[in-house]
Amino acid sequence: MIYRLGELFCGPGGLAWGAVHADIGNPDFRIVHEWANDYDENTCKTYRKNICKDRPDTVYHADIRKFDLTKLSPIDAFAFGFPCNDFSVVGEQKGIDGVYGPLYSYGVKVLKMLKPQWFLAENVGGLKNANDGKAFSMILGAMKEAGYKLYPNLYKFETYGIPQARHRIIIVGIRDDLDYEFKIPSNADYVQKTCRQAIEEPPIAPDAPNNERTIQSATVVERLKYIKPGQNAFTADLPEHLQLNVKGAKISQIYKRLDPDKPAYTVTGSGGGGTHIYHWSEPRALTNRERARLQTFPDNYIFEGPKESVRKQIGMAVPPEGAKIIFEAILKTFAGIPYEYMEANIEE
């Protein structure tokens, strides 16, 4: 079975790369791109360039709230990383009451309209507790009502060999009339990968795309010299003139240097000074290509748009290699191939 995949909120293609590269050793079971949508123009350009170069017209650049869903072609599989801004632990946490919170409903509309055999939905770990847990229950309820058995789990990607501590809720759904049960793929056989391994093995070519360096101010360079690997601007012993005048919450990732012997902390898509992820030994922020390595994008994956747009795209993406693991488990489920699995850590 070749599964035609549709995507809403597709981002730069992290989920899509994992899907089209999923390989279970049986060419009869694979996933191919059918169509995708995102509201950001540069993101759509990146997706077209890397996922469907020969079919650029299948990527729709549009605000989902104004998009005509009836123009979408039939699909067998569906993925949507619905916007997480209102569910993230960083920010105002408006949950279902925010601007972005209700956008999951467009994914549910696609489920009802096109009835794919299975779907994968992704969001931040904070989704489970948004609106005192009511948002998560409401979203699961809508997906069930659309006709799907659900298999939610909080995936800690660093336990699957991804060189980054990234925790995401992923809900796999299988249509009610299909006699398949999805199991959470086991992380038992994966070896932890450090950020140093990700960035240095192999070295990044000098002419690699999206590898331009950020120009650091003299103050930032001086501040970073006092910050040891794993420390941030608030835990390091900084001279008074280099300390940050911050009242209230002190976010731990501000001017935080990577610990080269551990996976990176979470790569984010936005934020002001001090949030760009900092090298463990050099007094500088990481380049976008280094950040892409932490997200497991291959070096030939070219991001379109200016530097800050690329930073946002990389930070918002699902790690492609992590997505691939989950898509392969879905394909094995439908192909009847046993695989190592573990208990879900989220109850419906």
Smallest Cα–Cα separation from 316: which of 2, 104, 15? 15
Count CB atoms within 10 A of the CB of residue 234: 16
Identify whether 10 is a catalytic site residue.
Answer: no
List the catalytic residue out of 10, 44, 52, 84. Answer: 84
Contact 285, 190 (CB under 8 A): no
Kindly list the distances between the CA atom of residue 310 and the CA atoms of 10, 43, 58, 61, 264, in Å, as whole numbers in the listed order: 15, 8, 22, 17, 19
Residue 315's contacts (CB-CB under 8 Å, 6 or more residues apart) are: 267, 268, 269, 270, 291
Cβ burial of 110 (10 Å; 0-12, 13-18, 19+) is: buried
Catalytically active residues are 84
